[in-house]
Structure 1
Amino acid sequence: MTKRIASDAKPTSLLDPSQGGRCARMVVLAIGLLATMVGCQQPSPPGGTPTFVGLAKCASCHQKEADAYRGSDHALAMQPANDQTVQGDFANARFSHRGVTSTFFRRDRKFFVRTDGADGTLGEFEIAYTFGVKPLQQYLVSFTNGRLQALGIAWDTRPKAQGGQRWFHLYPAETLRPPDLLHWTGRDQTWNYQCAECHSTDLRKNYDVAQNRYATTSAESTVSCEACHGPGSAHVTWAERRKPGASRAAAGATGLVVRLGRVEGSWVMKDTQHGIAEWSGAPRSTAEVDACARCHARRRPIVDPYPYGRPFLDTHVPALLDPALYHADGRILEEVFEYGSFIQSRMFQHGVTCSDCHEPHGLGLRADGNGVCAQCHLTAKFDTPDHHHHKAGSDAARCVSCHMPARTYMVVDPRRDHSFQVPRPDLSVAIGTPNSCSGCHLDRPPGWVAERIVRWYGPASHARRPHFGPAIDAGRRGLLSAEKTLAALATDPDQPGIARATALAMLPEYLSPASLPAVETAIGAVDPLVRSTALAAIETLPPAERLRLAAPGLRDPVRAVRLAAAHALAGAPKQTLSVEQQADLDRALTELVASEMVNADRPEAHLNLANLYTRLGRLADAESELKTAIVLDPHFAPAMVNLADLSRAQGRDADGERFLEQALQVAPDSAEALHALGLLRVRQGRRGEAVGLLRRAAQQRPEVTRFAYVYAVALYGSGEAARAIAVLEEAHQRRPANRDVLTALATYLRERGDPKAALRYAELLATLAPGDREVQGLVASLRRQAGLQ
């Protein structure tokens, strides 16, 4: 379910790959378009490019797999609304939620809901499709301009004894009214953007930005065989030409675009003392994980149409361990699906793939209960009270209870964490993260649980493999240790790539000569996720440094890395680039623009393009993109704030003022708009108004230290030094490592005649910048003033 995510990002930030997490269950929702919207058989294009042939053709040879698939949640996920598919109560059933009473009824053998529409008034809407099977079923409504919208009221398909067979709201704690993005008519509930790519076969969004309408099509109205294996016409040709009785090896290449079959080899228990099987055979491919990641990840697509068979980061950019999505130790928080968790695991690092545990056609597990884990983990060692210290056969003795704790999303849908971590109550004590043990022992503090772990497994039980959680926590909280620990994590090859990339994404806030070598090292990492994030971390460096570090990335074989390199070098002085480098940059910039246009139906994409064009000096194009964003969403305040900033840069503060006032009309609590208008009032000499606006911005977003810092500077400039220092001290408590705040505190306290207090902050600043001569001079001066030298 999509939730409101408070982001630290300024309005100039890139479209967040963490957006778009609203699904009832990834193995449940397999969505496509029906015959009126679909061309199921596509003519073969010139040159013999493989085309889609459909389930029936695949089933003619692969009957066993097709039979398993037909009964799966994928096959039944999106269907036309009729007597056989609709599970909800449409017998004039009424459901009330926060002042709106919706009625579900039938007329002329069709299904309808009477509920609040885009204008806020009650209206009748025909149900076009069912969406999902279990544990809930949603319903889609067709709108003009080719879009489908998902109702926020769903049917609980669980048995009545389990609390099901009822209507319920997916946002029970929220009052949603248009134009709220989460209202069922809002853009965050639009199927074409939010759901369709993952849940159709060969989806073509076909969005026309000039007309703001969709002509979405797909090759087949389900997640069918070719959604995973790619277009099958070449495979069909191979099969038809294959001689009877010939082996696959004899026939050579099978024509499959994506090869997901198991490689030769098996998991072998080589060491019973260790008790965990090791792979024996040909090297395992990541092709299967990459194919599944397209839909089982919180991610942002960067290419259209989807090129089957490419590495995941050649087609998408996954979300990192964002605080709105994951706990600091990588455990799931928001609805993130499986990929971001699984790639944290040691299982992934040792070659385990999705189908080792999951049967890919029927979607069931390979075995019941602990039998899934027993495929590779010796039962005599792990499925015993000597290991789990609970009663055999109890729920607590299930492997998943400890190693795959579940969270419930969409009110009724529990999903398990796929990072397969060992319970770490010691981390709960240290950084406040949850742990499996405390999830059951609610009456016991984490310290009690941590003590039991030590008693059972010894004092070195958690020292075997240092965890990345404390470093991520330090970065999130702005601790004094953040730069050092994040730099160490970024270059630790034993840590998961997604954790290292997350550390790199945090480092720009702390980046100094001490941590820059870690970023340089990461740019050459094997993992493309690490490489791309490292390149994004250098954007604040001087142009010559950026060129030296990012230019090779323009030719990286992975698209996500090339995009990051292009973004880092956008606007670099042309005279500093060689002819070859300029050609590389031009190609990568073309890819970067195209990657944003994949989501041209989103105002955020046009905001991103405007920021890119601004850096390239194409101000007219930037302004055009921002205005397009506002056309797509008249309430999109970030575009108005950036238009104001663009106007200011061109000496048009009067225009900028109008844009900011417009932003505050549609979003009165926008901290960014309040902050920008406050700065404008400072330039206009209206200091009293400026201070009030900057105060409101800081109050709206206390987690954004920049707002508090600027507010404090304005207070100090207005003669309110004591209040300014108090604001800065509060900001320091929230982000101890913020250097601007420490500098201001040291400076203001010295000017106020308190060198001892100033020295305390200057010395903290010196620990963060040990080689900064200016800071060293400040410390020495304050020590003399305080009589300490």
Structure 2
Amino acid sequence: MRRFQKLFLTILLFAPLWAVADDPHLQWMGGYTGSVVCGKCHAEEFSAWRGSHHDLAMRMATGETVLGDFDDTRFEYAGITSRFFRRGDNFVVETDGPDGELTEYDIAYTFGFDPLQQYLIGFPGGRLQTLGIAWDSRPAEQGGQRWFHLYPDESVDHTDILHWTRRSQNWNYQCAACHSTGLRKNYDPATKSYATTYTEIDVGCEACHGPGQAHAESGGTTAFDINFTASNAGEWVLEDGAAVAARTQALPERLELNVCAPCHSRRSQIAEQSPGPELLDAHRPAPLRNGLYHADGQILDEVYVWGSFVQSRMYQAGVTCSDCHEPHSLRVRADGNALCANCHAPDRYDTASHHHHGGESAGTQCVECHMPESTYMVVDPRRDHSLRIPRPDLSVKLGTPNACNKCHVDQDAQWADEAVRRWVGATNTHYAETIAAGRSMDPRSLGALSALAVDAAQPAIVRATALELLRNMPTEESLRAAVANLGDKDPIVRLTAVDIISLLPAERRGEFVFPLLDDPVLAVRMEAARVLAPVSADVLGPEQTLKRDQGLKEYMDAQKLNADTPEALANMGNLSASRRLFADAERYYLAALDIEPMWIPARVNLADLYRVMQQDHNGENVLREGLDRVPGDPVLTESLAMNLVRQGQNDEAVDLLRGLAAAYPDQVRASYLHAVALNSTGRATEALGVLETALIRFPDNPDLLVAIITISRDVGLNAQALRYAQEYARQNPGDPNARQLLQELEGK
């Protein structure tokens, strides 16, 4: 034991010292030891980890770690010819910098290794930026061993928000937390600089197990805070004659998944801490948002795997990450269908009667049908982890992808749907249709969304998605759905439900939200405080005011952690505005635009703040500057048009909305606003023409129907108004407003 302790102390005291001399970001932090120390007692796990994606997540750039061709090679993109070469021991790239001029940069670090390797370059203020040109490390016969750009179908120059020197490609903010261990971002808003540190450059043992110093010093008798052995009790057993394995003991918690999720999910960070048992104590995961996921929950953008996996029946049954992946090497535990056969009887599932394919075609492989791939970063295929049954019927209805047509590219979704129906008969209803309708803000989806939100049989992330969509349609029904979920067992559902309560007048919020100020989960607690921020201390009372203010401190701490982002600064602006601290709100919004002038939400919110402050002329300037930077942006255009209407500049406002409707013919809101603006300026006939044209494209849109009914009625076209009112009532038989409009017009 003495020899072990002496060895441990030597490594602890001296390893960081020599490493710091080479790596300016490496800094020892109390409680951590480093993976080398762990490997002294856990040699098998350490050996499996060595060479894994975690181990090679980030490296200093050396002859041993750099995979790309720096033998004076050239790569052309967007009119820029970049050159990769060596200068002594340094690896150098000559490429366009933040000003668009060719500049030579030393490569500081490698990032990843397979199937691509990226490169980090140091900038003033402690910044590391990720080069937009990457090395394809696949074998040449697979198309690799070449330089390529991560946005090959675009022309990203130095003015583009996606340029490698811009905020979106910053390592400190975007990448660092998931590629190193014990990371502290250490951003200083006053100097706009970073002093980012980590205890290990890669994803080491303590990134998942937590700090190990106490465990190592005790010779292993002191347990880690993260105890995977206890949390993963039980095993899967496939009994003779059973189709599917059963777990011998239910999981007491989802610790393993929550430790993996921070780096394998689309989320924002709200606290810097060691891995813990609750994901939402340090992160806020995204639900199935439009642009991130397809309406049926399949992965669309680069969302990694957590959001798809928690939709799956496997997750509901208690499957966890290490059931399929060896947690140190990260490799799957078996190849091909043998992996699935651990829990799914092969004589039932690995047969032609199940998969309906013959020979050794791709269709005989479980993952090709139930975990189809999507390719990201040009060369990196990743599998959807929702483990879903192929649904080409949803492709026909909604345009979502399906596994069948990923292989059968010469056929359409209708063909695939007919084949599946022949095999298995009719398919079950799916939440995809409800989510798709909610995304289009169709008021008729309100009932289905409310039912989905309170359906405990549905995955929590799906219910949270329904609640988020209900927020866009504030009604008593959506409020009831939110209230019903404030006590839900899953924090992502509670979190989304709380947000809907913010639509109520401030004085009505307390009765619903007060209990959540004591919620055990940070994300829920601070969201409750944000919702209660505008409520006066007189309404809250001393005890609740104290709890609310404690929650607001947690909320502000989370935003300050991300003060290098316009999103967090805008959040602080929104909070200040809700408390009528207008000077603070203005300062935060301007700070957000200082970091990223092209970030549109901050411009729109600042312009709206000026509206509240009766300074629409300032708001106009903010919006016009935004349109100079992002010409034609629909959100800025709409906001400017509304601003001009308030200032009496109706002609320009109508022209802007006319152009918006022409540019976005598939966006019903643009046509609706154009018609309303025309009518408000006394041009009712033109407004009716716009609405009639729009109704050809969107015949069942309730906003268009109500607008054409009311304008027709107001100008005396009662027969036309009645005709449209009858159609509106037919489409919305349960809507009291539709009945009232119809009765009123029938009375005329």
In 1, distance between residues paired with 2:486 and 2:245?
Answer: 34
Match 2:108 to one of 128, 133, 140: 128
- Counterpart of 1:159, as a letter, is P
Residue equivalent to 1:215 = 195
In 1, distance between residues paired with 2:459 and 2:339?
Answer: 24
Residue equivalent to 1:155 = 135
- Counterpart of 1:137, as a letter, is Q
Give 1:564-713 correspondences, 5 Å limit.
564-699=527-662, 707-713=670-676
In 1, distance between residues paired with 2:61 and 2:146?
Answer: 18
Is 1:297 aligned to residue 265 of structure 2? yes
Give 1:375-390 correspondences, 5 Å limit.
375-390=342-357
| CA pair 724-652 structure 1, distance change in 2 beyond 3 A | same
Contact 1:630-1:640 within 8 A present in 2 as well: yes
Secondary structure of 1:140 counterpart: strand
Match 1:65 to one of 45, 62, 68: 45
Secondary structure of 1:415 counterpart: strand
- Counterpart of 1:339, as a letter, is W
Contact 2:54-2:202 within 8 A present in 1 as well: yes
| CA pair 772-415 structure 1, distance change in 2 beyond 3 A | closer
Secondary structure of 2:382 counterpart: strand
Is 1:563 aligned to residue 526 of structure 2? yes
Question: How far is 1:456 from its partner?
Answer: 1.9
In 2, distance between residues paired with 1:580 and 1:431?
Answer: 50
Match 2:452 to one of 486, 489, 492: 489
Match 2:364 to one of 386, 394, 397: 397
Question: How far is 1:676 from its partner?
Answer: 3.1
Contact 2:573-2:586 within 8 A present in 1 as well: yes
Contact 1:438-1:445 within 8 A present in 2 as well: yes
| CA pair 654-41 structure 1, distance change in 2 beyond 3 A | closer
Secondary structure of 2:105 counterpart: strand
Contact 2:20-2:26 within 8 A present in 1 as well: no
Secondary structure of 1:137 counterpart: strand
Question: How far is 1:160 from its partner?
Answer: 0.9
Residue equivalent to 2:23 = 36
Q: Which moved more, 1:418-427 or 1:634-643?
A: 634-643
Question: How far is 1:736 from its partner?
Answer: 7.3
- Counterpart of 1:267, as a letter, is W
In 1, distance between residues paired with 2:175 and 2:85?
Answer: 26
Is 1:230 aligned to residue 210 of structure 2? yes
Residue equivalent to 1:334 = 301
In 2, distance between residues paired with 1:205 and 1:624?
Answer: 23
Residue equivalent to 1:266 = 235
| CA pair 323-773 structure 1, distance change in 2 beyond 3 A | closer
| CA pair 732-75 structure 1, distance change in 2 beyond 3 A | farther
Question: How far is 1:356 from its partner?
Answer: 0.3
- Counterpart of 1:571, as a letter, is P
Question: How far is 1:239 from its partner?
Answer: 2.3
Residue equivalent to 2:9 = none
Is 1:168 aligned to residue 148 of structure 2? yes
Match 1:316 to one of 262, 266, 283: 283
Contact 2:597-2:626 within 8 A present in 1 as well: no
Q: Deviations over 1:149-187 (max 9, x none)?
A: 111111111111111111111101111112311101111
Secondary structure of 1:723 counterpart: helix
Match 1:442 to one of 409, 417, 435: 409
- Counterpart of 2:633, as a letter, is S
- Counterpart of 1:256, as a letter, is F
Question: How far is 1:77 from its partner?
Answer: 2.4
In 1, distance between residues paired with 2:478 and 2:467?
Answer: 10
In 2, distance between residues paired with 1:764 and 1:279?
Answer: 55
In 1, distance between residues paired with 2:502 and 2:337?
Answer: 48
Q: Which moved more, 1:743-752 or 1:371-380?
A: 743-752
In 2, distance between residues paired with 1:369 and 1:431?
Answer: 31
Contact 1:539-1:568 within 8 A present in 2 as well: yes
In 2, distance between residues paired with 1:142 and 1:681?
Answer: 45
In 2, distance between residues paired with 1:704 and 1:261?
Answer: 53
Residue equivalent to 1:27 = none
Q: Considering Cα pairs closer than 8 Å and 6+ residues apart, tell me whether 1 or 2 has the greater RCO.
A: 1
Structure 1 portions without partners, runs of 5+: 1-31, 45-50, 243-253
Contact 2:84-2:94 within 8 A present in 1 as well: yes
Q: Which moved more, 1:328-337 or 1:229-238?
A: 229-238
Question: How far is 1:601 from its partner?
Answer: 0.4
Contact 1:478-1:736 within 8 A present in 2 as well: no
In 1, distance between residues paired with 2:664 and 2:185?
Answer: 36
Contact 1:114-1:125 within 8 A present in 2 as well: yes
Residue equivalent to 2:99 = 119
Residue equivalent to 2:322 = 355
Q: Deviations over 1:358-394 (max 9, x none)?
A: 0011111111111111111111111111111112433
Question: How far is 1:719 from its partner?
Answer: 3.1
In 2, distance between residues paired with 1:733 and 1:615?
Answer: 41
Is 1:276 aligned to residue 256 of structure 2? no
Contact 2:254-2:277 within 8 A present in 1 as well: no
- Counterpart of 1:455, as a letter, is R
| CA pair 736-488 structure 1, distance change in 2 beyond 3 A | farther
Seq. identity, %:
48
Match 1:456 to one of 409, 412, 423: 423
Q: Which moved more, 1:139-148 or 1:736-745?
A: 736-745
Q: Deviations over 1:599-641 (max 9, x none)?
A: 1101121111111110011111101111211222244444334
- Counterpart of 1:255, as a letter, is A
Give 1:401-416 correspondences, 5 Å limit.
401-416=368-383
Match 2:176 to one of 154, 173, 196: 196
Secondary structure of 1:171 counterpart: coil
Residue equivalent to 2:65 = 85
- Counterpart of 1:372, as a letter, is L
Contact 1:37-1:216 within 8 A present in 2 as well: no
Secondary structure of 1:317 counterpart: strand
Contact 1:637-1:666 within 8 A present in 2 as well: no
Q: TM-score scaled to structure 1, two decimals?
A: 0.88
- Counterpart of 1:478, as a letter, is M
Residue equivalent to 2:489 = 526
| CA pair 730-187 structure 1, distance change in 2 beyond 3 A | farther
Contact 1:641-1:660 within 8 A present in 2 as well: yes
Q: Which moved more, 1:141-150 or 1:444-453?
A: 444-453
Residue equivalent to 2:254 = 286
Residue equivalent to 2:6 = none
Contact 1:33-1:218 within 8 A present in 2 as well: no
The answer to which structure has the higher helix fraction is 2
Match 1:257 to one of 225, 245, 254: 225
- Counterpart of 1:686, as a letter, is Q
Secondary structure of 1:328 counterpart: coil
Q: Which moved more, 1:125-134 or 1:540-549?
A: 540-549
Q: Which moved more, 1:160-169 or 1:263-272?
A: 263-272
Residue correspondences, number: 729
Structure 2 portions without partners, runs of 5+: 1-18
Question: How far is 1:108 from its partner?
Answer: 1.5
Contact 2:270-2:559 within 8 A present in 1 as well: yes
- Counterpart of 1:189, as a letter, is Q
Is 1:715 aligned to residue 678 of structure 2? yes
Question: How far is 1:283 from its partner?
Answer: 3.1
Contact 2:182-2:198 within 8 A present in 1 as well: yes
Question: How far is 1:224 from its partner?
Answer: 0.1
In 2, distance between residues paired with 1:228 and 1:416?
Answer: 23
Q: TM-score scaled to structure 2, two decimals?
A: 0.92
- Counterpart of 2:506, as a letter, is P
Is 1:108 aligned to residue 88 of structure 2? yes
- Counterpart of 2:169, as a letter, is Q
Residue equivalent to 1:429 = 396
Residue equivalent to 1:249 = none
Question: How far is 1:503 from its partner?
Answer: 0.7
In 2, distance between residues paired with 1:541 and 1:768?
Answer: 29
Question: How far is 1:340 from its partner?
Answer: 0.3
Residue equivalent to 1:96 = 76
Q: Deviations over 1:654-697 (max 9, x none)?
A: 33333233223323323333333323332333321221233344
In 1, distance between residues paired with 2:20 and 2:367?
Answer: 36
